[in-house]
Structure 1
Amino acid sequence: MAAKRRKTQIPPPPKKETGAGKEIQVNPPPPQEEIVVTIDPRSLECSICFEPLCHPIYQCILGHVACRLCWKKIENKCSTCKKPIGGQNIALEAVLESMRLPCPNANLGCCKSLSYSQMQLHKDRCEFTQSVCPIPGCAHEAFSGQWLAHFVKDHWNHGYDYSDSSHQNYGTPCTIRFDFKDFEEDRYYTFLGPGKDVFLLVKEAIPNGTALTLYYIDLPDLGRNYIECELRVQGGPSLSSSLQSESQVVSIQEWKRGEVHGSSLLLPSQFLLDGYMMVNVVLHKEKR
């Protein structure tokens, strides 16, 4: 790690006048000092999940650090030395918070500079982040805020529109019928919300059943809203069986084909005994 010091000059404050017309020169504060360093990003990663460290940061009694969620996963015992957790590393948290980094999309027009701990969240929401359409076989690329037109034009064979003015808070159920032929391949259903909100309901086969997951593709105001999805499925003989879930809508970036996570609704194979099933989808959007 290379480091050098530099001083940031602060211009002296303007002179002040007293009631008698005399000027008083106020001594300027000493120059602020900054340390410019070059750090290997790997040294700022969690030693367990290898994701960037973020507040709060905990360490074992020998000083090995990891993020809070990972400490819980390993029952508060260090994965490196097996020693117990020693406490919170406040100094490292302060260092990470004081680091200011330019957005990786600066060359595309983003002018924001953020702390290290805020950078990952910003990258997921930056309007200058360009990504590839998640629909298999589609190579279209777009920035945040541009996906609405693409999905309406190219992927509206299975679509549901929440963007009517009477549905500003969502809450209106949509019912989808899955027939036997729908289970022979993965299916994708587009949901449009107010503004430029775009969601994708993914149905894909997993061992011994099916997984249903709702992802968001574009949520320009995600930081000011909380999006929740209710999934209720009826299937089996004469639709006699039902399953339901309530979960927060997650980013399409978390979709890995063939894998499931906490927001997925898992359906056993017996839901197909009558050759079809009914899926009820309700979206809720709440201000934070």
Structure 2
Amino acid sequence: MNPLDFLIEPLSYEFMVRAMATSVIAAIVCAVLSCWLVLVGWSLMGDAVSHAVLPGVVLAYVVGAPFALGAIVFGFLAVALIGIIRNTSRIKEDAVIGIVFTTLFALGLVLISVTPSQTDLNHIIFGNLLGVSSAELLQVIILGAVTFSILIFKRRDFTLYAFDAVHAHAIGLNPKVLGAALLGLIALTSVVALQAVGVILVVAMLIIPGATAYLLTDRFSRMLVLAPTISAFCAVAGLYLSYYLDTSSGGMIVLAEGAVFALVYLFSPTQGVIGKYLTSRRRRQTVSK
């Protein structure tokens, strides 16, 4: 098989074209948001919201509503519960997040187990990228466009909030509103990525691209370019690998992102373990001369 046939063959199937579009959109939106999550230190928050949407998806299935609607409702519910419990008790934020997301996730598992269905609802947990319908792709496009537009339009405010919330307040911005907006965008983005990799792996798409870009540059503007570029490449590569190796498509996408992160972690010129060792070694050799 020549390289051109290798690239074209998967795209001769409509389900692969829809899967490719869904995965690339989800990868880009998740990666852009991940830049702020890494800086703010909200990795666990992304995990919480992405898992908390499960019962909403199941209930949406029960009443015949779009999955995205149920996921959005429970995503915002999780954010609200975390904020209320954190502000009205002495429990620390990490414990509150753990309580809310595990409880809602468990509720989703229970609902799946008792919901009579001719459809295997477990694909919500593990993803069903190759089964994305045209209507679901349209939902991904709309939600992805809304989330991406808000992130880009308000990027300066979100960036200032991430680096110095006190200064943001001093110049007239409301840090609480900006924080709530980011949490809401996590909920929306989780819905987008849910179609691609399922509930369990959403957190990987929300964290790994930003963490990878963070090891490659010290400039946030470059992070916003590097993260979605890397994530989109991994989405395409993972989908092609899953096609030819006959493996889980969502799992391969996340594995591709993990592999790129490992390479950057080891070989990044300024932050990589091996890169820093080689730089230090060259400096010692220069001094010794």
- TM-score when scaled to structure 1? 0.23
Q: Flag the structure with higher helix content.
A: 2
Give the strand-richer structure, 1 or 2.
Answer: 1
TM-score (norm 2): 0.23
Computing the radius of gyration from Cα coordinates, the structure with the larger value is: 1
Higher relative contact order (CA 8 A, sep 6+): 2
